[in-house]
Amino acid sequence: MTINSAAPRIKAPRIYYGWIIVGLGFFTLAFQIISRFSFGIFQVPLIEEFKWSRGLLGGAFSLSLLVYAVTAPYVGSLLERKGPRAIMPWGCVVVGLSFMGGYFISSIWHIYLLIGLFGGIGLALNGFATNTSIMPRWFLRQRGRATGIVLSGIGFGMLALSPLIERIITAYGWRAAYFLFGLFVLIIIAPTSFLLLRDRPEDVGQGRDGQPYSPDESTAGSAENGSAENGTDKSVRSVFHTLKGDMRFWAMMFLYFTIGFNNNTILSQLPSYLIDIEFSTAAAAFIFGMVGFLRVVGSVVGGRIGDAIGRGLATAVFAMVISVGLVLLLLLPLLGGGLPLAYVFVLIYGTGLGGMSACGSAMNGDIFEGPTFGVIVGFVEICYGLGGVVGPPLAGIMFDLTGSYVIPFSIIIVVLVLSVFSSLWLHRQIPARKNPIAA
């Protein structure tokens, strides 16, 4: 991108606008992602009313992840060609309308259409992938911290909105909860996104990381941030052709599969699992929300740790932390259950969840930052979605067959341990200038 040096300078805001983008991403993800993770809360009354099996409902959840995964690379290509401002706010519109439509659910295909199909499209337009893929546009030195804060919005949504949704369901029914949630996203979150979102720092007269911006040197076109756009083919096919022989790409794909497999399986089944081991619905929703709170802490603190010791190394550490949390979750019934042990699980698992997601996402930017980064994020999100496609129905079907979550939860632990080795290898591939501990 070439900027005419004779063009008038854009008056820069007093504060770095990148932090406004971070704040917008935080609140957007709080409402966007809880639309997915609240599935476990809505699952309980839907099963009670319609007698649908967990495996059947898990299929609708998986459809959402499948649609998300298939569309993510194309959304990434659009984002790089058209800019975030032209793409992302529409995701809030789609999610809001799909949840409002939940008021009219009376058949299983309604769940598959509204939550599966349209929910997946909405999250592809404005969700985990798009909000993390724009962070390298705004940050380099504090990328881990910024990404961690954005992703902590997911935990905030779980903490603040999960118990609220459960209370609305208890007081007014699940239909009212669907409608009210969707209405709020449509009339509050979507307009805010349209109003505040910007494509790049130079749009507000600033350089990346809040550095002074000169019209003679476009942040978007500098070699330093890897975004020289002239002549770059940003089509999905071209980007894949370039990357298919790169082992770093496939290692990152596996890492994202692990994150999606763990996050979507556990968080979609956790409320039902806790109720099965004799927690009340209110306690289950509270524990679910507390996982969200600790995910906030893990995302923010984990991002800072990744900036300090290297994001690959930190990703490996947090994968092991999650594994320990899942072992404790499986042992809860044998250890007598109760809230104190549940809180220990929340502390371990929630912190690991936030830290692994934040550091893994920032590491992806360290390795692949450039003019096609949005498309690359879309590709790795295919594997994140594949993890969600496989995990929840597997857990639901195994529960229907065995009456237990031991097998699917144990498989997740094994995959997490394997991801530790992948993360450590990727740690060695990060350019030295972006890696505090260059191995």
Indicate the domain borders of the chain.
17-211+245-434
d(CA 307, CA 321): 18
For residue range 48-107, list pLDDT tens digits in order: 888 887 778 878 877 887 888 888 888 888 888 888 889 999 999 999 999 999 899 988
Query: Cα(65)–Cα(408) distance, rounded to whole angstroms?
Result: 18
Nearest alpha-carbon partner for 347 in 321, 367, 327? 321
If one counts every other C-beta atom within 10 angstroms of the C-beta of residue 144, the result is 30
Q: Any idea what DSSP says for residue 342?
A: H
> Do 396 and 53 meet the contact criterion of CB atoms below 8 Å apart?
yes
Residue 417 has pLDDT above 50, yes or no: yes
Which pLDDT score is estimated for 215? 58
Is 176 within 8 Å of 106 (Cβ atoms)? Answer: no
Confidence at residue 403, expressed as pLDDT on a 0 to 100 scale: 85
Alpha-helical (H) ranges within 310-405 are 311-331, 339-368, 373-402
Kindly state the percentage of the chain with pLDDT values over 90: 28
pLDDT at 322 over 90: yes
Contact (CB, 8 A) for 124 and 67: yes
**Residue range 16-26: mean pLDDT, rounded:** 91
Paired tokens of 24: 């917008």
Q: What is the pLDDT of residue 154?
A: 78
Distance of CA 180 to the CA centre of its chain: 23
Please give the structure tokens belonging to residue 237: 């096919």
What is the mean predicted confidence (pLDDT) over 295-319?
87
Provide the mean pLDDT of the chain.
Answer: 83
pLDDT class of 26 with cuts at 50, 70, 90:
very high
Which run of H or E residues covers position 209? none
Euclidean distance between CA atoms 402 and 431, whole angstroms: 47
Specify the range with the lowest mean pLDDT, choosing from 100-114, 127-141, 178-192: 127-141
pLDDT computed for residue 224 by the predictor: 42
- CA max distance for the chain: 73
Q: What is the pLDDT of residue 331?
A: 93
CATH class of 17-211+245-434: mainly alpha
Angle separating helix axes 373-402 and 54-82, nearest 10 degrees:
180
Three-class DSSP category at 4: coil
pLDDT at 2: 41
- The whole-number pLDDT of residue 232 equals 57
Mean of pLDDT values over 253-259: 92
Summarize pLDDT for 324-360 with one digit per residue, the tens: 999 999 999 888 778 889 999 999 999 999 899 888 8
Find the Cα–Cα–Cα–Cα dihedral 207, 210, 212, 216, rounded to 10°: 0
